[in-house]
Every structure is written in structure tokens, then in C-alpha cells.
């Protein structure tokens, strides 16, 4: 992906919402959204697939893991021999390692600059990590955005997409209404003013082209290949998650919409002896209602009896 907005527990009805665009060269072969098994094994993955390197840009498993990756734009620090960043997503989704061990291994594998947002809902955790940053950052309830710079870097299209996600969550009364609003935000072709453009080391004209949420660069044969939505809806006491992928032709026309629905996803996190189940108020314009968060509350380190003694 090259543009992602993520809202966690910002709506009682829709506790998890992701809106994301994948930008890529049209000549690079890819498979559309579907279930498949990674080459290295592990649980089946619901994702599109890069047929050149075998990875993906956004995916999830029925077991409760989710991940998405973007590249960090910095032409001066690109190693053409580096492994594909799309491999990071299925490696996380395989579910073989906890966050700290996975991150230590991944950070040492020589990838070009990347952002990773990864969640394990059975553990009640979500984090952002970048190999240009020393440590992963735990994400709590909130709305986040990332493009080709660090998390929540104030690029115009990142700010605009976060704002439109908030607006859609405050007004949508159905999954259809929410998805319509989010797809409209992801296909916004407005170019940022030069004064607001980031400076990432590419020529100014290219910086302008890349500043839109929906990119079309016909002479470069590059642009937004697909838009993906993940919308979790609370229905009664359970959740149903809708995954939708709209793919586009090189001319910008919609070529296909694929979708899947998962009942009981994301799964509830498991409580342990150190953490009591917490009912948290979610952000909403409606009357305050306490519902269980998707994420386990962070637990402050306990002070020892000796340390607590005056």
C-alpha cells in the first residue's frame, strides 16, 4: 500500500475501519483479493498477491492477525538488491512469533525503507514499525494515517484521508454508506499545492503527481492499482468484518470489485491473570456507550513491594 488510514474503536458500530490504496507499476503482475497459502506455509491469508515476489501489501488471517505495508520514499537510500517488502506481511500473518521477536528479526533483513502496521487481535495488540525507527510503536484507540513517510506525517493526502474517515464514521448509517464514502475518498485525484508538497528527493513534477490520493501517471505506466476497505461492524454482541477490494485499469476505470465477509472477526483478545477485561467508551457523536475495546489496555509495570516502601 502507499496510503492507509486506520481507525480503531472510533465508532461503536464500526470499531475497525481501514481505507488503503496500493500504488504500483501496471506491468507488475498481481492477483486480486482472495484466500491463498503463503509459500512458507502457515494459515491461509485473505489478500491480494504480488505475483512477481510472492508477497502482499495488505492481508489478514482467520486466526486474528492483520498487516499492511508501505514503502518509505527516499531514492538516495534504495538498494535494488534488497528483498521485497511485500514478504513482511505474510511473515507476520504466519503467526509464528510475538511482536518483539518478529521485529528484531525483520529489522535485520536488509529491506529498503518501509512502514508496517500489524495487529494480533487475539493478543489485543496493534503496532506501527519502520526500519528507519529504532522501536515499534504500540497503537491505542485512535485514527492513524501513513503514506510514504513515518506514521502520521502531515502530508496533505494523509491528513485528508484521515479527516474523511472521521467524517464518514460520524455520518454513515450502514456498511454501504460507509464504503461509498471511503471509496470516494480513496479516488480523490486532487493535487496538493506546491507550498504543501513534501520533499522526498524526487523531481517536483513527480512529487505533484504522487500527492493525490488516487494516482495516475500514464507516461510512467504507474498509478493506483486497487483500493481496499476493511470494515468491522458490530451486529448484536458479535462482529462481522467486510473486506472489499476495488481494482482499476491503467486508464483509471474500475475493473472489478471483490469482497468477503468474516463472522466473529476480529476475535476477542484473551485476558490473562494480570489484566482484567476492560469495557472502554468509544469515540462517537451518539450517547456514550461502553463497549469492549478491540485492543487490550496497556498495563503499567508493577512496582515491587520494596520499591513502594517509603
pLDDT of residue 95: 83
pLDDT of residue 20: 98
* Backbone phi and psi for residue 291, each to the nearest 5 degrees, phi listed first: -135, 160
Walking along the chain (310 residues) 10 residues at a time, the average pLDDT comes out as 95 97 96 94 96 96 97 94 96 88 91 96 95 90 97 97 98 97 97 95 95 91 96 95 96 89 95 44 43 80 47
Considering the entire predicted model, what is its pTM?
Answer: 0.90
Closest C-alpha to 69, from 162, 83, 255, 121: 83
Are the C-beta atoms of residues 69 and 114 closer than 8 Å to each other? yes
Helix 175-186 to helix 156-171 angle, to the nearest 10 degrees?
160
Burial class (CB in 10 A: 0-12, 13-18, 19+), 187: middle
Other beta carbons within 10 angstroms of residue 201's beta carbon come to 12
- Cα angle, residue 170 at apex, residues 168 and 176 outer, rounded to 5°: 45
pLDDT of residue 290: 55
User: Domain containing 140 — which CATH number?
Assistant: 3.60.60.10
Boundaries of domain holding 95: 3-308
Split into its structural domains, the chain has a count of: 1
pLDDT of residue 25: 95
pLDDT of residue 291: 67
pLDDT of residue 298: 77
pLDDT of residue 302: 52
pLDDT of residue 272: 58
Amino acid at each position: 500500500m502507499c496510503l492507509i488510514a486506520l481507525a480503531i474503536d472510533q465508532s461503536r458500530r464500526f470499531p475497525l475501519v481501514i481505507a488503503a490504496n496500493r500504488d504500483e507499476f501496471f506491468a507488475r503482475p498481481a492477483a486480486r483479493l482472495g484466500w491463498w497459502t503463503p509459500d512458507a506455509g502457515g494459515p491461509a491469508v485473505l489478500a491480494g498477491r504480488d505475483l512477481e515476489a510472492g508477497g502482499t501489501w495488505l492481508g489478514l488471517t482467520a486466526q486474528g492477525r492483520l498487516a499492511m505495508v508501505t514503502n518509505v520514499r527516499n531514492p538516495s537510500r534504495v538498494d535494488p538488491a534488497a528483498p521485497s517488502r511485500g514478504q513482511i506481511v505474510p511473515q507476520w500473518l504466519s503467526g509464528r512469533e510475538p511482536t518483539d521477536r518478529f521485529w528484531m528479526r525483520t529489522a535485520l533483513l536488509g529491506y529498503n525503507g518501509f512502514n508496517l502496521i500489524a495487529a494480533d487481535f487475539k493478543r489485543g495488540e496493534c503496532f506501527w514499525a519502520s526500519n528507519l525507527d529504532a522501536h515499534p510503536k504500540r497503537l491505542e484507540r485512535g485514527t492513524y494515517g501513513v503514506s510514504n513517510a513515518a506514521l502520521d506525517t502531515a502530508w496533505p493526502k494523509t491528513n485528508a484521508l484521515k479527516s474523511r474517515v472521521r467524517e464518514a464514521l460520524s455520518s454513515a448509517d450502514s456498511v454501504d454508506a460507509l464504503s461509498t464514502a471511503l471509496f470516494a475518498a480513496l479516488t480523490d485525484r486532487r493535487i496538493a499545492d506546491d507550498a504543501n508538497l513534501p520533499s522526498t528527493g524526487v523531481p517536483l513534477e513527480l512529487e505533484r503527481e504522487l500527492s493525490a490520493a488516487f494516482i495516475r501517471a500514464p507516461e510512467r505506466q504507474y498509478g493506483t492499482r486497487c483500493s481496499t476497505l476493511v470494515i468491522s461492524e458490530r451486529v448484536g454482541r458479535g462482529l462481522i468484518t467486510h473486506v472489499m477490494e476495488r481494482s482499476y485499469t491503467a486508464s483509471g476505470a474500475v475493473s472489478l470489485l471483490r469482497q468477503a465477509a468474516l463472522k466473529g472477526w476480529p476475535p476477542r483478545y484473551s485476558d490473562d491473570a494480570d489484566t482484567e477485561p476492560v469495557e472502554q467508551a468509544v469515540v462517537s457523536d451518539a450517547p456514550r456507550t461502553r463497549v469492549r475495546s478491540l485492543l487490550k489496555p496497556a498495563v503499567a509495570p508493577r512496582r515491587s513491594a520494596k520499591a513502594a516502601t517509603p
